[in-house]
Amino acid sequence: MKKNKEDIKKVVLAYSGGLDTSIIIPWLKENYNNCEVIAVSGDVGQGTELDGLEEKAIKTGASKLYVLDLKKDYIENYIWPCLKADAKYEDYLLGTSHARPCIAKALADIAKKEGADAICHGCTGKGNDQVRFELTLKAMAPDMTIIAPWREWNIKSRDEEIDYAEAHNIPLKINRETNYSKDKNLWHLSHEGLDLEKPSLEPQYNKPGFLELGVSPEQAPDTPTYVKIHFEKGIPTAVDGKEMGSVELVEYLNKLGGENGIGLLDIVENRLVGMKSRGVYETPGGAILYKAHNVLETITLDKESFHFKEIIAQKMGELVYNGQWFTPLREAISAFTDDLQKTVTGDVTLKLYKGNMINAGVTSPYTLYDEQTASFGEDEDYNQADATGFINLFGLPIAERAKLAKSWPTEE
Amino acid sequence: MKKNKEDIKKVVLAYSGGLDTSIIIPWLKENYNNCEVIAVSGDVGQGTELDGLEEKAIKTGASKLYVLDLKKDYIENYIWPCLKADAKYEDYLLGTSHARPCIAKALADIAKKEGADAICHGCTGKGNDQVRFELTLKAMAPDMTIIAPWREWNIKSRDEEIDYAEAHNIPLKINRETNYSKDKNLWHLSHEGLDLEKPSLEPQYNKPGFLELGVSPEQAPDTPTYVKIHFEKGIPTAVDGKEMGSVELVEYLNKLGGENGIGLLDIVENRLVGMKSRGVYETPGGAILYKAHNVLETITLDKESFHFKEIIAQKMGELVYNGQWFTPLREAISAFTDDLQKTVTGDVTLKLYKGNMINAGVTSPYTLYDEQTASFGEDEDYNQADATGFINLFGLPIAERAKLAKSWPTEE
Amino acid sequence: MKKNKEDIKKVVLAYSGGLDTSIIIPWLKENYNNCEVIAVSGDVGQGTELDGLEEKAIKTGASKLYVLDLKKDYIENYIWPCLKADAKYEDYLLGTSHARPCIAKALADIAKKEGADAICHGCTGKGNDQVRFELTLKAMAPDMTIIAPWREWNIKSRDEEIDYAEAHNIPLKINRETNYSKDKNLWHLSHEGLDLEKPSLEPQYNKPGFLELGVSPEQAPDTPTYVKIHFEKGIPTAVDGKEMGSVELVEYLNKLGGENGIGLLDIVENRLVGMKSRGVYETPGGAILYKAHNVLETITLDKESFHFKEIIAQKMGELVYNGQWFTPLREAISAFTDDLQKTVTGDVTLKLYKGNMINAGVTSPYTLYDEQTASFGEDEDYNQADATGFINLFGLPIAERAKLAKSWPTEE
Amino acid sequence: MKKNKEDIKKVVLAYSGGLDTSIIIPWLKENYNNCEVIAVSGDVGQGTELDGLEEKAIKTGASKLYVLDLKKDYIENYIWPCLKADAKYEDYLLGTSHARPCIAKALADIAKKEGADAICHGCTGKGNDQVRFELTLKAMAPDMTIIAPWREWNIKSRDEEIDYAEAHNIPLKINRETNYSKDKNLWHLSHEGLDLEKPSLEPQYNKPGFLELGVSPEQAPDTPTYVKIHFEKGIPTAVDGKEMGSVELVEYLNKLGGENGIGLLDIVENRLVGMKSRGVYETPGGAILYKAHNVLETITLDKESFHFKEIIAQKMGELVYNGQWFTPLREAISAFTDDLQKTVTGDVTLKLYKGNMINAGVTSPYTLYDEQTASFGEDEDYNQADATGFINLFGLPIAERAKLAKSWPTEE
- Please tell me which of the candidates B303, B390, B409 has its beta carbon nearest to residue D389: B390
Q: Look at A298 and B268 and tell me if their CB atoms are within 8 Å.
A: yes
Burial class for D230, CB neighbours closer than 10 Å (0-12, 13-18, 19+):
buried
Answer yes or no: is B373 within a domain: no
- A257: domain CATH number is 3.90.1260.10
- Please tell me which of the candidates A266, A324, A398 has its beta carbon nearest to residue B138: A398
Separation between Cα atoms, residue D392 and residue C2, nearest integer Å: 14
- Please tell me which of the candidates B302, B394, B397 has its beta carbon nearest to residue C328: B302
State the nearest Cα–Cα gap between C136 and chain A, in angstroms: 16
Spell out the residues 6+ positions from residue D127 whose beta carbon is closer than 8 angstroms to its own: C376, D271, D273
Residue of B nearest to C316 (CA): B308
Is C303 within 8 Å of D270 (Cβ atoms)? Answer: yes
- Share above pLDDT 90 across residues of chain D, in percent, rounded to a whole number: 86
State the nearest Cα–Cα gap between A195 and chain C, in angstroms: 27
Domain boundary among A176, A203, A237: A176
Answer yes or no: is B381 within a domain: no
pLDDT surpasses 60 at D258: yes
Mean pLDDT of chain C: 94
Is D70 annotated as contributing to ligand binding?
Answer: no
Same domain, C157 and C239: no
3-state secondary structure of C316: helix
Q: Look at A332 and D319 and tell me if their CB atoms are within 8 Å.
A: no
If you average pLDDT over residues A190-196, what whole number do you get? 94
Confidence of residue A62 (pLDDT cuts 50, 70, 90): very high
Residue of B nearest to A160 (CA): B377
Is C323 within 8 Å of C331 (Cβ atoms)? Answer: no
Separation between Cα atoms, residue B113 and residue B108, nearest integer Å: 9
Question: How many Cβ pairs closer than 8 A exist between chain B and C?
Answer: 86
Q: Which residues of D touch A394 (CB under 8 A)?
A: 274
Answer yes or no: is D211 within a domain: yes
pLDDT surpasses 60 at D412: no
Residue of C nearest to B330 (CA): C305
Render pLDDT for A307-331 as a digit per residue (tens, 0 to 9).
999 999 999 999 999 999 999 999 9
If you average pLDDT over residues C288-309, what whole number do you get? 98
Separation between Cα atoms, residue C408 and residue A159, nearest integer Å: 63
Same domain, B108 and B61: yes
Render pLDDT for B199-217 as a digit per residue (tens, 0 to 9).
999 999 999 999 999 999 9
Q: Look at A400 and C370 and tell me if their CB atoms are within 8 Å.
A: yes
- Please tell me which of the candidates C203, C224, C278 has its beta carbon nearest to residue D374: C278
Is A41 annotated as contributing to ligand binding?
Answer: no
Active site residue: B20, B86, B117, B183, which one? Answer: B20
Residue of B nearest to A150 (CA): B384
* Domain ranges, residue A145: 5-176
pLDDT at B411: 58
Same domain, A64 and A99: yes
DSSP symbol at A152? T
Answer yes or no: is D254 within a domain: yes
Is C96 annotated as contributing to ligand binding?
Answer: no
Residue of C nearest to D390 (CA): C273
Question: Cα-flanking dihedrals φ and ψ of residue A11, to 5°?
Answer: -125, 135
The segments of chain B whose pLDDT lies below 70 read 1, 173-178, 376-380, 411-412
Is A115 annotated as contributing to ligand binding?
Answer: no
Same domain, C235 and C353: yes
Q: Look at D332 and A340 and tell me if their CB atoms are within 8 Å.
A: yes
If you average pLDDT over residues C344-373, what whole number do you get? 96
Same domain, B9 and B147: yes
If you average pLDDT over residues C71-96, what whole number do you get? 97
Q: Look at D218 and C200 and tell me if their CB atoms are within 8 Å.
A: no
Same domain, C28 and C87: yes
pLDDT surpasses 60 at D388: yes
State the nearest Cα–Cα gap between D30 and chain A, in angstroms: 26
Among this protein's residues, is A43 annotated catalytic? no
Separation between Cα atoms, residue A26 and residue A58, nearest integer Å: 11
If you average pLDDT over residues A152-170, what whole number do you get? 89
Chains that touch D (3 or more CB pairs under 8 A): A, B, C
- Share above pLDDT 90 across residues of chain C, in percent, rounded to a whole number: 86
Among this protein's residues, is B129 annotated catalytic? yes
ipTM of the complex: 0.96
Q: Which residues of B touch C397 (CB under 8 A)?
A: 270, 274-275
Region of C135 on the Ramachandran plot (φ > 0 left; ψ -120 to 50 alpha; else beta): alpha
Answer yes or no: is D311 within a domain: no
For residue C112, the surrounding DSSP H or E stretch is helix C99-114
Active site residue: B43, B86, B117, B129, which one? Answer: B129
State the nearest Cα–Cα gap between D310 and chain B, in angstroms: 15
Q: Which amino acid is at D235?
A: I
Q: Which residues of A touch C386 (CB under 8 A)?
A: 388-390, 392-393
Q: Look at D276 and C218 and tell me if their CB atoms are within 8 Å.
A: no
- Please tell me which of the candidates A304, A338, A343 has its beta carbon nearest to residue D327: A304
Domain boundary among A154, A176, A198: A176
Is D151 annotated as contributing to ligand binding?
Answer: no
Answer yes or no: is D182 within a domain: no
For residue A107, the surrounding DSSP H or E stretch is helix A99-114
Q: Which residues of C touch D224 (CB under 8 A)?
A: 218
- D88: domain CATH number is 3.40.50.620
pLDDT at C378: 64
Within a 10 A sphere around the Cβ of B166, how many other Cβ atoms?
Answer: 12
Same domain, B148 and B206: no
Answer yes or no: is C308 within a domain: no
Same domain, B43 and B119: yes
Region of B274 on the Ramachandran plot (φ > 0 left; ψ -120 to 50 alpha; else beta): left
Chains that touch A (3 or more CB pairs under 8 A): B, C, D
Q: Look at A126 and B150 and tell me if their CB atoms are within 8 Å.
A: no
Same domain, C349 and C211: yes
Same domain, C47 and C22: yes
pLDDT surpasses 80 at D177: no
Chains that touch C (3 or more CB pairs under 8 A): A, B, D
3-state secondary structure of A340: helix
Answer yes or no: is D402 within a domain: no
Q: Look at D305 and A329 and tell me if their CB atoms are within 8 Å.
A: yes
If you average pLDDT over residues D386-412, what whole number do you get? 90
pLDDT surpasses 70 at C174: no
- The total number of residues shown for chain B amounts to 412
Domain boundary among B119, B143, B176: B176
Question: How many Cβ pairs closer than 8 A exist between chain C and D?
Answer: 261
Confidence of residue C47 (pLDDT cuts 50, 70, 90): confident
Same domain, B251 and B272: yes
pLDDT at B211: 97
Same domain, C28 and C167: yes
3-state secondary structure of A392: helix
Separation between Cα atoms, residue A95 and residue A88, nearest integer Å: 10
Confidence of residue C376 (pLDDT cuts 50, 70, 90): low
Q: Which residues of C touch D362 (CB under 8 A)?
A: 199-200, 268
Q: Look at A135 and B395 and tell me if their CB atoms are within 8 Å.
A: yes
The domain tally of chain A equals 2
- Higher model confidence: residue C169 or residue D286? D286
Question: How many Cβ pairs closer than 8 A exist between chain A and D?
Answer: 86
pLDDT at B246: 98
Q: Look at A305 and D329 and tell me if their CB atoms are within 8 Å.
A: yes
